[in-house]
Chains A and B, each alone.
Chain A
């Protein structure tokens, strides 16, 4: 993959994030994986529920501490969010959450909430109304409260609030899944356009592959805590390499009227507290080989390229 020479905006390396609950085994939600987002690039992170997409995003924001590994934003390591004021270098990461019904404060006017973002960025010239206009809402709505908006409009307000802080990296954690089907593609497009326009990177997390295909430049497929395949969206779509990516794409029913039942991926996602040995996908993989049960293909490392699968083991002589 071609990485910009200036270095990526976000670089996640060998990140491990664990959830610890007393009396329960430790759950490795993110189990040593890497991800890069360049400035002005839209990366779609997809995978089934419970694969660690959201945990990865929360770790990038500092909402979760990392057990090991590194997260760098423009060269600065991300530290967990604490009670003290956030390091100004890290306020460039802004997140749009899944549920706009709970991510906005119901007791404050939306204009005031957007102004919080502007204050973070030290912006004294832009008004909240300007931002509302950018997300396609009337300027006068700044004086309204969240309950006066529909779901799609609320998510626009949440996007305006995130943009107010002049982010260099915008993260959308399933920002469209709580919205009506008719509003989903619109809001996703809006996020893409605004992020690209302002030169920020966008990490867009969704389980809706058809929307990710619509807006992402690059796609990263995650399975059970690991990114198993990355590549340009069109390339991954046209020629998925990893068997999991293939299964994921084959499961999307096509509206062609042919009555073809989508292919089923047998089995459930294994318990992340007790992942299978070897390749994490091997119990469900239709092309499983002996080596898959014993050794894990490490995606994104020097050994494996963008596809973490023994079927696509790179030639040892040409590490490209």
Chain B
């Protein structure tokens, strides 16, 4: 057991996982640092999302995980469910791909923003409401007071994702796991969300794990980039190095597969 590094907010060591006897992760190592965005790239099925879910202890039925996920000096994989419930949603939060399904359609924004806040932080309804309005302002929802009374369907996709991010930030987490947070959005809206994520990471000192298959998104916001293939991290390094001078042939093939036509003419 190595002691956690000083700057590391969360360390994943030799994480292995199998679902029904079928190995999904074969020993993943990742380190998230406070105030840094760590990008996790790879094709579908490479285990990106599973790695993110494992950190939150949201593993599918019939799966077994081994290795170590060190957070605050403790191993999340060993933690009893009761204690894990204290951590997830409060210290470690998650933003999902599709804001249309990750928000509850029948609850007001206020209810979704305050429920976990009151549970985790033990604060009153009024205080929670005030904090909720502050959070909406932070993620730049126009008219936060009014917005609290509305339902998710009354917002556009980009606004919904901002609300989902506000929900994740409500309990002032140290680690944010964003699983394809912009894949369901238009490019113009995506640009806004990426700027928001980057700003929150810098201002609040969040450690962000950004799971995405889009290398453009990766290049825009990630400080460190890890590339996954078949349940293994094949390459990790600073953004510039991984995307410009990839060492692993798989990373190179991912970059070569990007739809960027070589010349002026369409193919």
Could you tell me if A261 and B255 are in contact, using CB atoms closer than 8 angstroms?
no
Give the distance in Å from the alpha carbon of A216 to the alpha carbon of B267 in the complex: 9
What residues of chain A lie closer than 8 Å to B144, measured between beta carbons? none
> How far, in angstroms, from A211 to B240 measured CA to CA in the complex?
25
Contact B44 A255 (CB under 8 A): no
Q: Which of B61-69, B102-110, B212-220 faces chain A? A: B212-220
The answer to whether the Cβ of A37 comes within 8 Å of any Cβ in the partner chain is: no
For B239, the chain A residues whose CB sits under 8 A away are 257, 259
Q: Check if A265 sits within 8 Å of B216, measured CB to CB.
A: no
Q: Would B186 and A48 count as touching, CB distance under 8 A?
A: yes
- Once A and B bind, how many residue pairs between them come within 8 Å at the CB atom? 107
Alpha-carbon gap, A252 to B215, bound state (A): 11
Task: Decide: B266 and A215 in contact? CB cutoff 8 A.
Answer: yes
Residues of B within 8 A of A254 (CB): 216, 219
Would you call A180 an interface residue if the criterion is a C-beta within 8 Å of the partner chain's C-beta atoms?
Answer: yes
- Give the contact-size bracket for chain B: 35 or more
Is A259 touching B240 in the complex (CB atoms < 8 A)? yes
- The reply to whether B266 and A214 contact each other, CB–CB distance below 8 Å, is yes
Nearest A-chain residue to B212, judged by Cβ: A181
Of B27-35, B52-60, B155-163, B168-176, the one touching chain A: B155-163
Chain B contacts with A in 120-167, Cβ cutoff 8 A: 156-159
Question: What chain A residues lie within 8 Å of B186 (beta carbons)?
Answer: 48-49, 207
Judge whether B259 and A251 touch: CB under 8 Å: no
CB distance from A189 to the nearest CB of B (A): 8
Q: How far apart are the CA atoms of A126 and B172 in the complex, in Å?
A: 63
**B260 & A251 in contact (Cβ 8 Å cutoff):** no
A182 in contact (CB, < 8 A): yes
A-side contacts of B259, CB under 8 Å:
185, 210-211, 213-214
Beyond A233-B266, A253-B220, whether A264 also contacts B198 by CB under 8 A is no
Q: Are A260 and B44 in contact (CB under 8 A)?
A: no
Chain A 205-223 interface mask (CB, 8 Å, partner B; 1/0): 0010111011111000000
Q: A194 near B: Cβ within 8 Å?
A: no
Measured CA separation A210–B258 after assembly (Å): 9
**Contact A264–B221 (Cβ < 8 Å):** no
Are A257 and B260 in contact, with the CB atoms below 8 A?
Answer: no
> Which of the residues A48, A213, A217 comes within 8 Å of B189, measured between beta carbons?
A48
Option from A252, A255, A260, A268 in Cβ contact (under 8 Å) with B218? A255
Q: Are B258 and A255 in contact (CB under 8 A)?
A: yes
User: Given that A214-B266, A262-B194 are contacting pairs, would A252 and B157 also be in contact in the complex, using a CB cutoff of 8 Å?
Assistant: no
B216, closest chain A residue (CB)? A253
Report chain B residues within 8 Å CB of A259.
219-223, 239-240
Interface size class for chain A? 35 or more
Contact between chains at A260 and B220 (CB < 8 Å):
yes
Is A234 at the interface (CB under 8 A from chain B)? yes
Whole-angstrom CA separation of A210 from B216 in the bound complex: 11
Q: B265 to A180, Cβ gap below 8 A?
A: no
Asked if B242 is at the interface of the complex by the 8 Å CB criterion, the answer is yes
Flag if A181 contacts B43 (CB, 8 Å): yes
Q: Which residues of A contact B216 (CB under 8 A)?
A: 252-255
Q: Say yes or no: is A256 at the interface (Cβ < 8 Å to chain B).
A: yes
Q: Which residue of A lies closest to B221 (CB)?
A: A261
Chain B residue with minimal CB distance to A208? Answer: B187
Pairwise interchain contact A264-B260, C-beta atoms closer than 8 A: no
Pair B220/A264 contact, Cβ less than 8 Å:
no
Q: Which residues of A contact B217 (CB under 8 A)?
A: 253
Check B191 against A265 for contact (C-beta < 8 Å): yes
A137 on the B face (CB < 8 A): no
CB atoms of A217 and B266 under 8 A apart: yes
B188 within 8 A of A: yes
B244 and A264: CB pair below 8 A? no
A41 to B201, CA, bound (A): 46
Query: Which chain B residues border A248 with CB–CB below 8 Å?
Result: 187-188
Given contacts A48-B189, A214-B259, A261-B221, contact A256 B43 (CB under 8 A): no
B20 within 8 A of A: no
Contact B244 A263 (CB under 8 A): no
Interface residue A258 (Cβ < 8 Å from any Cβ of B): yes
Asked if residues B218 and A209 are in contact (CB atoms below 8 Å), the reply is no
A257 is contacted by which of B198, B242, B266 (Cβ under 8 Å)? B242
CA distance A186 to B123 in the complex (A): 52
Instruction: Please state if A181 and B264 are interface contacts (CB–CB under 8 Å).
Output: no
Q: Which residues in B have their C-beta under 8 angstroms from that of A262?
A: 187, 190-191, 194, 220
Task: With A256-B243, A263-B191 as known contacts, state yes or no: A268 contacts B159, CB within 8 Å.
Answer: yes
* Known pairs A182-B44, A211-B259; A257 contacts B244 (CB<8 A): yes
Taking a contact as CB atoms under 8 Å apart, the answer to whether B255 and A251 are in contact is no
Given A252-B216, A255-B218, A265:B188 Cβ within 8 A: yes
Closest 9 CB pairs of A and B: A257-B243, A253-B216, A255-B215, A253-B220, A262-B191, A251-B187, A265-B188, A251-B191, A257-B240
22 contacts between A and B (CB under 8 A): A48-B186, A49-B157, A210-B260, A213-B259, A214-B266, A215-B266, A217-B266, A251-B187, A251-B190, A254-B219, A255-B216, A256-B244, A257-B219, A258-B240, A259-B219, A259-B222, A261-B194, A261-B221, A262-B220, A264-B191, A265-B192, A268-B156
Apart from A257-B241, A265-B188, A265-B192, list 18 A-B contacts with CB within 8 A.
A207-B186, A210-B258, A234-B266, A238-B264, A248-B188, A251-B191, A253-B190, A255-B258, A256-B243, A259-B220, A259-B221, A259-B222, A259-B223, A261-B194, A262-B191, A264-B188, A264-B195, A265-B191
